[in-house]
Amino acid sequence: MSDYRRSHIPWGAYFLTLVTHERYPLFRNELARRLLHDAIDKTQIDWPMTIHEMVLLPDHLHLLCSIDDAKQDYSTRIRVIKKRFTRAWLASGGHEGPATASRQQRGIRGVWQKRFYEHTIRNQSEMRAHVAYVHMNPVKHGLVTQPKDWPWSTFHRHVKEGMLPPDWMGPTELASVGEYDSEIW
């Protein structure tokens, strides 16, 4: 068994990626998107975190967040979000991928990959780079040609607030993006 330790910096910021089981394009489904939104909102009540940036693609979710307590327990927050979503999704008759005997034995459903990716943001330069990465991700995956064309992204909040132009296409224009809040939906 590995001895993996996640980075925890008091009042730090983190880039997190959650991926669906076998990269199934679950979030093409409107109900799945709504249930994920509900799971995040409900988790925020008991386990608050500030979501600075987010983009939801068909098979994964990127979050750029911070946690305003010394414990910095983002792993529990992600576990609770995944669990709440999975329960609601399966209760609504949603798709579940095949699970190996090992996954079944441990009670792991075929909705999400077991783990998630995390990166600790160390400075403002990394924050700007990850903000750009989040906004450009739908373009990178060939889903749209411009960030403004992807509806499930915090990009639209920045445009609405005048922090980015609607035709923004890269990180060089992110110098003005410095304040982050959690209103994304």
Q: Please report, for the chain, the start and end positions of each structural domain, with discontinuous segments joined by +.
A: 13-173
Strand order from edge to edge, sheet including 117-121: 50-56, 60-66, 13-19, 117-121
* pTM, 2 dp: 0.84
Coil, strand or helix: which one is 177?
coil
Cite the beta strand spans of the chain per DSSP E. 13-19, 50-56, 60-66, 117-121
Query: What would the CATH number be for the domain defined by 13-173?
Result: 3.30.70.1290
Tens place of pLDDT for every residue, the chain, 185 residues?
Answer: 455 444 555 557 899 999 999 999 999 999 999 999 999 999 999 899 999 999 999 999 999 998 877 666 889 999 999 999 999 999 999 989 887 888 778 878 889 998 899 999 988 888 889 999 999 999 999 999 999 999 999 999 989 999 889 999 876 555 444 444 333 32
Pull the structure tokens for residue 6.
Answer: 């996640």
Say if CB 171 and CB 53 are below 8 A apart. no
